[in-house]
Amino acid sequence: MATTTLHPAAATYKSGLYEWLTTTDHKKIGIMYVVNSFIFFFIGGLLALGVRAELAQPGLQFLTDEHLYNQVFTMHATVMIFLFIIPMLAGFGNYIVPLQIGAPDMAFPRINAMSLWMLPLAGVILLSGFLLGGTAAAGWTSYPPLSEDRILASTGPGQDLWITALILIGTSSILGSINFLVTIFKMRAPGMTLFRMPIMVWTVLVTSVLVMMATPVITSALIMLFIDRNLGGHFFDPSTGGNAVLYQNVFWFYSHPAVYVMVLPAMGMISEILPTFSRKPLFGYKAFVFATAGIGALGFSVWAHHMFTTGAVFLPFFSLMTFLIAVPTGVKMFNWIFTLVRGQLTFSTPLLFALGFLSMFLIGGINGAFSASVPVDYALHDTYWVVAHLHYVLFGGSAFGVFAGLYYWFPKMTGRMLDETLGKIQFVLMFIGFNLTFFPMHVLGLQGMPRRIADYASGAGWNDLNLAATVGGFLIAASMLPFLWNVFVSLRSGKIAGDDPWEGNTLEWATSSPPPPYNFDRLPEIRSERPVFDQRHGHGAGGHK
Amino acid sequence: MTADSHALTTAEHSPIAGLAHDARGGISNPILGMLLFITSEVMFFAGLFGAYFSARAQNTPWPPEEFAHTLNPLSLILVATVILVLSSVTCQMAVNAIRRDDRAGFLRNMSVTVILGIAFLLMQAYDYLLLADEGLTLNAGSFGTTYYTLTGFHGAHVFGGVLMLSVILYRGMAGQFSSRHHDAVEAASLYWHFVDVVWIVLFSVLYLL
Amino acid sequence: MSSSPRPRSASDLILIAILVVTMGALIIGALATGFMDGMFPPEAVTRQGREIRSLYDIVFWIAAVIFVFVEVLIVYSVLRYRRKPGQDELPVQTHGHNVLEVIWTVVPTVIVAYLFVISLQTLNSIDAVAKSPDIHIRAVAQQFRWQFDYLAEDGVTTLFTEDVATSDQGGGMHVPVGANVQLQLTSPDVIHAFYVPKFLFKRDVVPGITNRFDFTIDPAEAGQTFRGQCAELCGTGHRVMLLDVVAMTPADYEAWKAAKIEQAGATPAPSASAGPVAVTLEETAAGIKFTTKSLEVTADQAFAIDFKNEDPASVPHDVDIRAADGSVLADQPTIDGGTATTYTYAALPAGTYTFICSVHPFPDMTGTLTVK
């Protein structure tokens, strides 16, 4: 912490545009993943504000063209899921995983660069629909027959652009996951056994298995939809011998595991941050690893809980599996809390966001159990309750985790600290805005407000809660201003971080900030899952329990 | 970035390459990567097969009456099947040759493999023409859609495999492989065997089952 | 965790007291302001709905207890274990605790197993479909309206059709209270979902599949109307796919049904005698849009509209007239795509009205009729 100048390695990050565009360095690629994902986060956020502006009060005021409204919420979800959360977490994985296992880079650096550059391309293809007569408008799930090419459904190029973009993103994810798996299996430093890997690495490992096994399945569904739309195929259109529910089965076979893809790495980040700021190891490391693997395995057997109301799935099995997934999730929750218990907590911004994750993900997890109960799901499915639930998981969970991770690793990435005061302002605004937006949606859903409607009757009793949600949405948007200002200012004149500003546990804190292109000049001895802690305090310091 | 740091971005040339490898050695990165890629490809075809069996369960009789005798296993397609299986054999012979450092044998067998692969593709294309004459097209109901989607995507994979093997052949002719250094050959041959196995499953399901 | 607990300092006790008081105040506040009411679905009006509600209540209270317990644990840990100035010595490095970990694996497993079992019991009861229900109705959901075919006892033959889905337009799905009604759901186009919030129930309407479910409305609800709407995104007009369920006493229902059957048997009368037509307007629908968005006629004179539907055959349209308050003044039969007709309308007093396609009642198929 005594350092007053940036590490000389920082110079390589000031290199020219061409260098960034052609780099195969996992750290630069990771940073570009993060930047790219933030760009799409803001695009997706603006689209969300469009939806909230329209729903603020009854009547059509803002997106008066309802077809455009459908495009806007479809793009909001597609962008947030496929171009923000998934790539954002892949980006952190890209940056962190090789550092945490003591490797000089990913196993396939050039494939890594290719995975990255497919994403902005896919984003441009996806959103170009706005200029080409309309984007996809059938929801991010794009259920046929609504997504088929026919009148009153999805004519025009938007749906095909959506399919193309998703196949590209899927391919990027698959290549990325293989890269992660080979890196983790083959490139760990000497002494870094599987059960000494940081939890972040474990979560990326399980996530990668999910991506590798599940993404090709949605690719097949997308291709079938494309064939239906463009080549006269008959997969999903019942009027020509197809099966509409088939698409849902194939789609959710991917998209439910995708939920864990979207949250497991965030859990991994939280599991790095909580021990650091409580000065204790993660409580129940092995249980946590098995819980992560358990979530991954169960994740493949719960997809049809999105289809309880179709009347076409075997309800008891999927209900049971969905309930069971609460068990490993609960194990993790208690592991996190008992990491705090008897610790010495320092309330830096990363910890605040991590605690935000804990308390919000708790709600998202518990209200998920409601939908596991089939009869209760009959009441809640496709209402705003579900919108609330998924945002508590993906925003309250994943997005809070992303900000926790960003505040935590920004010093490593740039060599400079983010400003704590601005960070805390952002946290408070975002936390309040988030709850103001999404908590009322539980009530709206219980009262019967369906998803994906542009308007509602003013007599339905939904006015106040919708207005509250809209105000909350704009508050979330406002919370991004201190964040952007923080990044801008800190990049120029933030406090110099030094190698290890937080007294971290894992190997990334053993090298300079930012690390040199080859990552490590020398590695500490790896005798536990906390090699840098061992180096600082001595192996076994503080007593072993 | 400077020249020396550039060299560090790939593990193989790094001065700290010792860090980069599992102390236990074991399977090489390209081969593990290919095995994982094949796993994901298996899931891709599983999705397509799922759709096929769903369509088959829903539409009776299967095949529909007008196509009851269209898909005859004892036709050109059997020849194509034999060719693809043979190509897998020659591919393995090429791998065995390079393991023995027999470069001539490697090039000879790999050339035959590529030619057999191309022959399979041509026969499949010709078979498509014959089937289309009989009215079996992509939009001929679920039967036609699933048939062409499954065989078409298999064909695309064969095409990809032919490209991959052609690159291997080209690199082999440039003398890039030896008994100690031929991970790419092993990886490409794994992919080719996978494509072959998919075809055997496809052929069994579409023509025999 | 085996080390003896450190003695609690006064500040810790104050902290716990503050926490307890705050939580208590929050809970009491929540109860007092009616916040808790918002956390429950509406009172159910069907037998099946009440069973779902009972199940919801159990799930909710278990969830609420878990939520409060864990959230309090988080808040307590956060406040209690702050790093104090000068605290340089490491805390005890606890790596885990087998007994605790077994407890928090086993207890949730037991809870979810219990929830699964009671859910399954409720499910078996509410998903039961009678072989011979009292009433068969087939709900046909199509972009973007509901139609209810009342079927004979065989569950196949249509007795009559109610094609107006909402009660403010004089329609709605009329059912007697206390009767076991079986609804068959079919769709000719895309996926819809039949959803009535007060039933606490929805079921998808999937083309190619006929879903069925039974419901019995509580006798006390006779005379009530329950609003519902499509719950599965079905296109641009998704939100206008409203429906009403009108609960009637059995006697009222029989009378309504008899009238409907008689009406269906009668030759359909041309729309209300309109008198001599003073003026004929033109309107065309193409691409689910009216080409002319404003029309003008003279007050107190009957008029006609030559209407051409240029959309594909599967897309019907009509031109209805509604007053400013939404009440229907003229309800015309729809015509299929590719056909044309002349609608005649009775005279209207001066004012501003809306003409609208009842199949696609959204802005592209809504226009202003000025009468002066």
CA proximity to A280, closest of A7, A533, A8, A12? A533
Fold of C272-371: Immunoglobulin-like (2.60.40)
Q: What is the pLDDT of residue A363?
A: 94
* Of the partner residues B14, B22, B43, the one whose CB lies closest to the CB of residue A217: B43
pLDDT of residue C276: 64
pLDDT band at residue C372, thresholds of 50, 70 and 90?
A: confident
Express each pLDDT in B158-190 by its tens digit: 999 999 999 999 999 999 999 999 999 999 999
Q: Using CB atoms and an 8 Å cut-off, which of residues 233-262 of chain A contact chain B?
A: 233-235, 240-243, 246, 249-250, 253
Among all chains, which residue has been given the structure tokens 């329950």? C226
At residue A326 the predicted structure's pLDDT band, cuts being 50, 70 and 90, is very high
Q: Do A376 and C189 touch (CB under 8 A)?
A: no
Question: What residues in A contact C73, CB-CB < 8 Å?
Answer: 337
CB spacing of A309 vs C236 below 8 angstroms: no
CA distance A13 to A32: 12
Give span(s): CATH 1.10.287, chain C.
13-82+97-126
| Chain A partners within 8 Å of C227 (Cβ) | 448, 460
What chain A residue is nearest to C184 in terms of C-alpha separation? A311
Cα-atom radius of gyration of chain A, to the nearest Å? 23
Local confidence band at A241 (pLDDT 50, 70, 90 cut-offs):
confident
Cβ distance A375 to C211 less than 8 Å, yes or no, reads no
- A216 neighbourhood in chain B, CB within 8 Å: 40-41, 43-44, 46-47
Q: Answer yes or no: do C197 and A537 touch at CB < 8 A.
A: no
Classify A21-537 by CATH class: mainly alpha
Most C CBs within 10 A among A141, A249, A310, hence the mutation to make, goes to A310
Q: Does A317 touch chain C (CB under 8 A)?
A: no
- Minimum-distance CB partner of B33 among A19, A107, A189: A107
The pLDDT score that the predictor gives to residue B12 is: 41
Confidence band of B4 (pLDDT split at 50, 70, 90): very low
Q: Record the tokens describing residue A515, joined without a space.
A: 């690390």
Query: What six digits make up the tokens of C107?
Result: 């207890």
In the beta sheet, which residues pair with residue C174? C246
Identity of the amino acid at B12: E
Please tell me the number of Cα atoms within 13 Å of A387 on its side-chain side.
31
Cβ-based contacts of A369 with chain C (< 8 Å): 59, 63, 112, 115
Q: How far apart are CA C74 and CA C81, in angstroms?
A: 11
The token duo for A368 is 């998920």
Checking if the pLDDT of C299 tops 90, the result is no
Mutate to test the interface with A, among B12, B19, B157 (most CBs of A within 10 A): B19
**pLDDT tens-place string over residues C42-82:** 999 999 999 999 999 999 999 999 999 999 999 999 988 98
Interface touch A345/C82, C-beta < 8 Å: yes
Q: Average the pLDDT over B25-36 and give the result.
A: 90
CA distance C54 to chain A (A): 10
Residue of chain B minimizing CA distance to A18:
B1
C95 CB neighbours in chain A (<8 A) are 281, 283-285, 544-545
Q: Give per-residue pLDDT as tens, A414-425.
A: 999 999 999 999
Nearest CA in chain B to A213: B40
- Binned at pLDDT 50, 70 and 90, residue C88 comes out as confident
> Cβ–Cβ of A379/C200 closer than 8 Å?
yes
C133: three-class secondary structure by DSSP: coil
Q: Which residues of A touch C209 (CB under 8 A)?
A: 238, 244-245, 310-312
Adjacent-strand bridge partners of A416? A496
Rounded-to-integer distance, Cα A94 and Cα B95, Å? 34
Q: Identify which of C122, C197, C211 has the shortest CB distance to residue A448.
A: C197
User: What pLDDT is recorded for position A543?
Assistant: 62
Encode pLDDT of A450-459 as tens digits: 999 999 999 8
For residue B62, the chain A residues in CB contact (below 8 A) are none
B176 close to B170: Cβ distance less than 8 angstroms: no
Residue C335 three-state SS: strand
User: Which residues on neighbouring strands pair with residue C229, listed in sequence order?
Assistant: C195, C242
CATH of domain C13-82+97-126: 1.10.287
**pLDDT the model gives residue C289:** 82
Chains contacting chain A through 3 or more C-beta pairs under 8 A: B, C
Partner A, chain B 39-78, Cβ-Cβ below 8 Å: 39-41, 43-48, 50-51, 54-55, 58-59
Q: Which of residues 447-476 of A touch C (CB under 8 A)?
A: 447-448, 450-456, 460
Please answer yes or no on whether C96 and A285 come within 8 Å at the CB atom.
yes
Q: What are the tens digits of pLDDT across the range A185-203?
A: 999 999 999 999 999 999 9
Q: Give the nearest chain A residue to C3 (CA atoms).
A: A545
- Kindly state the DSSP code that residue C333 receives in the 8-state scheme: P
CATH class, C135-265 region = mainly beta
Mean pLDDT (whole number) for C32-45? 85
A residues 95-114 closer than 8 Å to B (CB): 102-105, 107-109
Q: Which A residues, 172 through 231, put their C-beta within 8 Å of a C-beta on chain C?
A: none
Do residues C342 and C306 lie in contact, with contact meaning Cβ atoms separated by under 8 Å?
Answer: yes
Q: How far apart are CA C4 and CA C141, in angstroms?
A: 67
Instruction: Give the 3-state secondary structure of residue A473.
Output: helix
Residue of A nearest to C84 (CA): A344
Distance separating alpha carbons of residues A288 and A283, to the nearest angstrom? 8
Instruction: Give domain limits for chain A.
Output: 21-537
Q: Residue A544: is its pLDDT beyond 60?
A: no
Average pLDDT over residues C282-300: 84
Q: How far is CA A278 from the centre of its chain?
A: 25
- Whole-number average pLDDT of chain A: 94
Among A272-276, C177-181, C237-241, where is mean pLDDT lowest?
A: C237-241
**Touching check for A145 and chain C: CB below 8 Å?**
yes
Q: Assess A246–C contact: CB distance below 8 Å, yes or no.
A: no
Q: Which residues contact B8 (CB under 8 A, 6 or more apart)?
A: A104, A105, A517, A518, B14, B15
Distances A309 to A224, A378, A442, C210 between C-alpha atoms, Å: 24, 6, 19, 13
CB nearest A221 (choices: B16, B47, B142): B47
Cβ of C211 within 8 Å of Cβ of A544? The answer is no
Residue whose entry in the numeric block shows the structure tokens 């859903």: A445
Interchain pair B138, A231: CB under 8 A:
yes
CB contact under 8 A, C51 and A375: yes
Chains A–C, number of C-beta pairs less than 8 Å apart: 286
Mean pLDDT of all residues in A275-294: 96
Contact yes or no for B36 and A246 at CB 8 A: no
Q: What is the pLDDT of residue B15?
A: 38
Mean pLDDT of C226-233: 96
Query: Which chain A residue is nearest to residue B23, measuring alpha carbons?
Result: A190
Cβ distance of C201 and A378 shorter than 8 Å: yes
Q: Which residues, listed in sequence order, are joined to residue C330 by a DSSP beta bridge?
A: C321
Residue A77 to residue A72: CA distance in whole angstroms: 9
Residue spans in chain C of domains classed CATH 2.60.40.420: 135-265, 272-371
Which two tokens mark A179?
A: 């890269």
**Cβ-based contacts of C81 with chain A (< 8 Å):** 278, 340-345
Residue A499: is its pLDDT beyond 70?
yes
Phi, psi of A353, deg, nearest 5: -65, -35
| A516: chain B residues, CB-CB within 8 Å | 5
CB C135 within 8 A of CB C61: no
Q: Best mutation site among C8, C43, C95 for testing chain A: the one with the most A CBs within 10 Å? A: C95
